[in-house]
Every structure is written in C-alpha cells, then in structure tokens.
Structure 1
C-alpha cells in the first residue's frame, strides 16, 4: 500500500489511498463527505444499493483507527446524507463501540439532524470555521483565507483528469493542496467528482485505488 508523507505548515500528514488523512501531531483522522445514510436513502427510493457498501465503510474507518492508533476522528462536514433514517442508529452504535475516540464534526450543508441526535452519541459538533492551529478546518472551502492559518476542507469532491498519448482519459479522486488551502477527497461512495485544474505551484495526489496514490508535484 502507498502512503504519502506530506509536510504542511510544519505538520506531518499521512495521506491514505482510502481517502483519509492522519494528522500525526494531533493523532487525528480527517475524513470529508462520508455521507452515511446515503445507502438507506437510495434503497428507500427504490435504488438497489447493497447493504454491504454501508458496512464496508464502517470497517474501513475501524481499520484506519486501529492502524494509526487514532485519538480523534474529525469529519469535515456531510457526515450524514439527509434526514434521520435507521442508519443513524448504526452510526451511533459504531461511535459508542469506539468510546475512547473523540468524534468531532465540522458541520456541513447535509448535516441537518437535530443537535440532540449528535449529543445522544457524545459527538461534538463544531460550526465552521474551526481553528485548530496551524489549520482552519471547514466543510466549505473558504473564499478568503483566515491568516495565518491554512484551510483544510471538503465539499468539492476533487478529482483530476489524466489524458494519454492516444487521447484516452481517466478520472481519479485526489488530494489537492494549494498555497493556502487543501481539499480532501470524498470518503463516501456515490459522491461523484469535480475535476480541478491545478496551478503549477499546487500539489496534487491522485488516488488510483484503495492501495495506490500517485503524486503530481
């Protein structure tokens, strides 16, 4: 498996091909746009998405917590896809099963559940922007920087398009790091991609699959 070690503002970030960042100094796992509840939402509307997709997401987060000895899990918005459904209880059970971990949510546009639902499972909800030096954590990428902090965000579901010599192309989800702002790939399934056009000074890591990352520095 490829793990990219990326230094940013004197902090050490591990970029995982599973679309998660481990922030070493804070022992924190950063995930954007998980969209729990989307499987149940699709199934309710007659779209036959297998339940295994949901359970695979939980298993993936559990492995990341175990592999990195995580103390905090920070969701950069859009944790739950829509209104309450049975999957919220499954998420709560998962959080309770990891009682030594601090689960935090930077509220996104899909996070519309009542505050009591988060409190029920001891999940800390923060409004954006949330400053955790040297970063300012948000769901929506900031339009204007908050100096001197570097913005880490989600929401965009960034992707990069590769074009071959025979004009064949491929689209990959990616991590994007600009001068003052970085955007994480969407962790959840069925989220789509927004193709970005990085500048020469930007750093991009394309995610080939669950085991490989390639750098475009």
Structure 2
C-alpha cells in the first residue's frame, strides 16, 4: 500500500491529507477518518447478497498500516464506524482493535451507529454526540449548518468527483471536499459508493488515486 500525502492549512491548522482516505492532524497526533461501516458486508451476506467476507479485513488492514505509518495517539472516526446490527464483522473488529490498546479511539455518533453504549464501552471507544470540538476544529458526522467560529470536519456524504476524458470516457474518484470553513472526508471503506452530485459552494476537491493526490 502506497501512502501519498498533501499538506493543507485550515483555520491555521496544518492537516495532512492522504490518498488512503484519512488525514493526519500532526499537532494533536490524531488520525481522522469517516464511514468505515463495519458490519455492512456481513449485513448483505445475511440477506443473501454474496459479498466476500474479506472486505472488512482489507479495510482494517489499510487502517492498521496507516496507524503504523503515522503513529497517532488518537484515532477519530467522524461517524458511521458501524453500519447495522451486531454481526460477525463486529466480532472481527473486536479482535482487531485489541492490537491498539495504547491508542485513544473516539467516535462521533453517525446515523448508522445504532449499537448499544455498552458495546462502545467494551471496545474502549469514547463517543461524542452530536459533535466534538477541539481547538479550532469541530468534528461532526453530517455537517448541516456551518459554525463560523470553527473549521468543521465531517463525513456522511461519501464525496467523489466525475472526470470526463476523450471519447466519452469517464472515471469516478473519491475526494476530500474543502472550503474556507469545512472539510468533508471520503468514506474510508472501499465498499461504498461515490456521491459526485453534492459539492459545497466554493469547494476545492482533492481527488486521489493509488499514486497521486491532485486538485480539481
């Protein structure tokens, strides 16, 4: 897995975007991601849709490599860590998270995070509802209204861009959407669609591939 980075400044805070769907806040030693949707693949299999059982394992392996690379003290998930009811994928995550007992895991509750508070406690994940404010940044799952006093970090919309080439060729790529007051994270899980129709006003799209990050 190749990790490509690009530093940007938001409200005087330096944030390191990556082509692996996360950003790193170096000053706070914090890794930030959104929409992991643990349990989604098992949920589909339960309802007769043949989704491979290694989908989650690939996502968690990518996250593990990012944790090793950045060595954060804290990992913040801005919503939809989980997808549905308790299922076998969550058991897989329980085993995975035990590798990182020295890291603080925090979750901003998203619309899919419907599991019991006891489970979060059992996993040693600190939860926030509806947001977490730290210095100049406000972490929330779905950014409905901008607070001019903070730079808002959110997820939920699974942003992407549609790039048109010659001969009617088209390609969709995930992206970070950044304005003067907000950053919308791409969905971390590879088992998600891309929303190319929702773009905030005056937005810069930082799209990425396996080998590059570029501005659109």
TM-score bracket for the superposition, by shorter chain length: over 0.9
SS in structure 1 at match of 2:168: coil
TM-score by length of structure 2 reads: 0.93
Residues of 2 paired with 1:140 and 1:199: CA distance? 13
Residues of 2 paired with 1:48 and 1:166: CA distance? 34
2:44 aligned partner: 42
Query: How far off its partner does 1:83 sit?
Result: 0.7
8 A Cα contact 1:104 1:124, kept in partner: yes
2:108 aligned partner: 106
5+ unaligned residues in a row in structure 2: which ranges? none
User: Judging changes above 3 Å, is the alpha-carbon distance between structure 1 residues 133 and 196 closer, same or farther for their aligned structure 2 residues?
Assistant: farther
Question: Where in structure 1 do 4 or more consecutive aligned residues deviate above 3 Å?
Answer: 196-201
2:59 aligned partner: 57
Query: How far off its partner does 1:166 sit?
Result: 3.5
SS in structure 2 at match of 1:13: strand
Residues of 1 paired with 2:129 and 2:170: CA distance? 39
1:211 aligned partner: 211
8 A Cα contact 2:10 2:180, kept in partner: no
User: Pick from 11, 36, 39: which aligns with 1:9?
Assistant: 11
User: Judging changes above 3 Å, is the alpha-carbon distance between structure 1 residues 197 and 111 closer, same or farther for their aligned structure 2 residues?
Assistant: closer
2:78 aligned partner: 76
Residues of 2 paired with 1:199 and 1:47: CA distance? 34
Report which stretch shifted further, 187-196 or 199-208.
199-208
Equivalence map 1:1-217=2 (5 Å):
1=2, 2-143=4-145, 145-196=146-197, 198=199, 201-208=202-209, 210-216=210-216
8 A Cα contact 1:160 1:197, kept in partner: no
Residues of 2 paired with 1:53 and 1:197: CA distance? 26
Report which stretch shifted further, 81-90 or 149-158.
81-90
SS in structure 2 at match of 1:110: coil
Query: How far off its partner does 1:66 sit?
Result: 0.6
SS in structure 1 at match of 2:16: strand
Residues of 1 paired with 2:116 and 2:45: CA distance? 23
5+ unaligned residues in a row in structure 1: which ranges? none
TM-score by length of structure 1 reads: 0.92
